Structure 1
Amino acid sequence: MSVPGEALPHPTVAPRPRVVGAPRLTEARGELLREITILDEYGDRRSIHIPAERSLTVFVDKRELVTLMTLGAMPEHLVLGYLLNQRLIKRVDEIESITVDWDVAAAAVRTRAGVADIEARTAKRVVTTGCGQGTVFGDQLEDLNGIHLPEAARARIRQSHLHRMLETMRQQDSIHRKAGSVHGCALFRLDAGQPELMMFVEDVGRHNAIDTIAGWMGLHGVDGVDKAFYTTGRLTSEMVMKAAHLGVPIVVSRNGVTAMGHEMATRLGMALFGRASNRHFLCYTGFERFDSEPEPQRPAVRVVSG
């Protein structure tokens, strides 16, 4: 239920053609917000919105793979990006179709030739630090030396362009602004005159949001070499790893970074920005990708003793 006359926020997506051999997708977008009545500290009853979290069980060729807790904004893209980021598929044309049915809370993935060794590749499951718990199958976290950015990923970012990204996100109509309790991720193109917002999506966890963007990038043949990610969530090793898998060399977070995320980004030559809000930020790694335009130093506060 929504408040009469109030427009509900939806993902921001730049229109692009799909790649040849792209899978068929349903468009089973769910209700993003739900209206409830609360009692506040003043004893007043009023209506507010909360995110409409739901479960989505993913079946690959009729084999149950995983259950994702999601907002349901772009579930088919989420499933596609999840399969790509888990390295279960290499290209989107390996998938024939993804059908999401909210009546049974399931996503049916049909591949063209099956997923090789799926039993062995999904036997080991690592629960990560994701909001709602992210998951990594296999030995991805043990094979970090096998992760590399593409040679073409030479993107740089100017401080003024970083400010423009942050201002774009500040002005974005969002579920978080209306209801809180969600994370958002955005993809920006940096080779334009100013950073261009290509996609923005929110979900109950930051891993879902970046997986959804990964699915959209794969579906439309968008590479990451001249792009930057923005996320509201912290930059853990898995978030850095997913950005690197997509070839995105610059990641900006409203939150901070973990030691493992910092180490991975340093080795890969990625630029990580954290605590980024308004005109404030911290550049943790990748100084060589950053064209600093320093703010004027604040005048020292003079303390006058009594």
Structure 2
Amino acid sequence: MNPLSINLVKTRAEVPLTIAVTAVNENGEVVDKHVACERPLTVYLNWRPIVTLMTLGARPEALALGYLKNQGFITDAKQLESVIVDWDVNSAAIITTEQTENLEQQLSEKTVTTGCGQGTVFGGFMDGVEDIKLPTPQIKQSTLYSLLKNINEYNDTYKNAGAVHGCGICHEDQILNFVEDVGRHNAVDTLAGEMWINQQDGADKVFYTTGRLTSEMVIKVAKMGIPVLLSRSGVTQMGLELAQKLGITTIARAKGRHFLIYNGSETIEFDAPSKR
């Protein structure tokens, strides 16, 4: 399907992701290093402030759209009129003709989550989750190993400065889209926003993240229509319960030739067992 035509008005939308600093190492020597940037981005919906996100600022338009879509504030991409990012005032304004009469009620219903730092989800976050039907994937163990190897070519900001999470949308062992941010939920929202605008199907995709698999992460991936969740980190009890309910193959602690399948082991073809 073709991407939707949306007027992305940018005002200083590109910002540096890292800055050079000096540090002192364990031997007392001064060394040149880089640190990840972190900046506030206030998201507006029809000029109503919704939330301020702390972000690296890599792809702010997609981040703002993905956040509003995942939280249930907007649902119809065809009614979007513009996305205006202005780093002079640290803002991203989304203009839509979609009706937002329930906005105040949604904003009043919020839950503090286990997001990086302190996250919040709003009243529309769970809307439609029970109606999600995901396909049953089939994945080869050898393909997972190849994917994990290919992932090592990414994480540029992490390699340069640390302090960020990375997320990627993958097909078989290829990484189709990858983004880093100071919080894993910013990264998944960015990818969700781009998938939504580009009208991409998630049925044959794998979602990779360096972060832990909490309930919020599982729900966001389910909303993207992706049936496989792969993480370098661990999984929480509620995240696992939701993955089981939604039928998401859940693979965690994945690094090198090691991984743990917490849900959906029947979807994995063990064609490359590790040598002991």
TM-score by length of 1: 0.85
Aligned counterpart in structure 2 of residue 149 of structure 1, from 111, 133, 139? 133
Please tell me whether residue 73 in structure 1 is matched to residue 34 in structure 2: no
Aligned twin of 1:229: 207
1:80/1:92 contact within 8 Å kept? no
* 1:30 Cα offset (Å): 1.5
Aligned twin of 1:283: 261
Aligned twin of 1:121: 106
Q: How does 1:98-247 map to 2 (within 5 A)?
A: 98-138=83-123, 140=125, 146-150=130-134, 153-172=135-154, 174-190=156-172, 195-247=173-225
CA spacing shift, 1:24–1:160, aligned 2, 3 Å = same
Aligned twin of 1:57: 42
CA spacing shift, 1:277–1:296, aligned 2, 3 Å = closer
Aligned counterpart in structure 2 of residue 45 of structure 1, from 13, 26, 30? 30
Alignment RMSD, CA only?
Answer: 1.9
- Amino acid paired to 1:205: G
Distance in 2 between the 1:221 and 1:145 partners?
Answer: 19
1:77/1:215 contact within 8 Å kept? yes
Q: Deviations over 1:124-174 (max 9, x none)?
A: 111211112222101645x79625234xx2322111111111001112251
- Whose strand proportion is higher, 1 or 2? 2
2:74/2:98 contact within 8 Å kept? no
1:61/1:114 contact within 8 Å kept? no
- Stretches of 4+ aligned residues off by more than 4 angstroms: none
CA spacing shift, 1:41–1:181, aligned 2, 3 Å = same
Unaligned ranges ≥5, structure 1: 1-15, 299-306
2:129/2:223 contact within 8 Å kept? no
How many residues are treated as equivalent by the alignment? 275
Q: Deviations over 1:28-83 (max 9, x none)?
A: 12210011111222111121000011000111111111000000000000001001
SS at structure 1 position matched to 2:152: helix
Aligned counterpart in structure 1 of residue 273 of structure 2, from 292, 295, 303? 295
Q: Deviations over 1:239-285 (max 9, x none)?
A: 00000011100010000000001111111111011000011100110
* 1:236 Cα offset (Å): 0.3
Distance in 1 between the 2:217 and 2:116 partners?
Answer: 12
2:72/2:124 contact within 8 Å kept? no
Q: Which has the larger radius of gyration?
A: 1
SS at structure 2 position matched to 1:199: strand
Aligned counterpart in structure 2 of residue 254 of structure 1, from 218, 232, 238? 232
Distance in 1 between the 2:131 and 2:243 partners?
Answer: 11
User: Larger deviation: 164-173 or 260-269?
Assistant: 164-173
- Amino acid paired to 1:185: C
TM-score by length of 2: 0.94
- Amino acid paired to 2:62: H
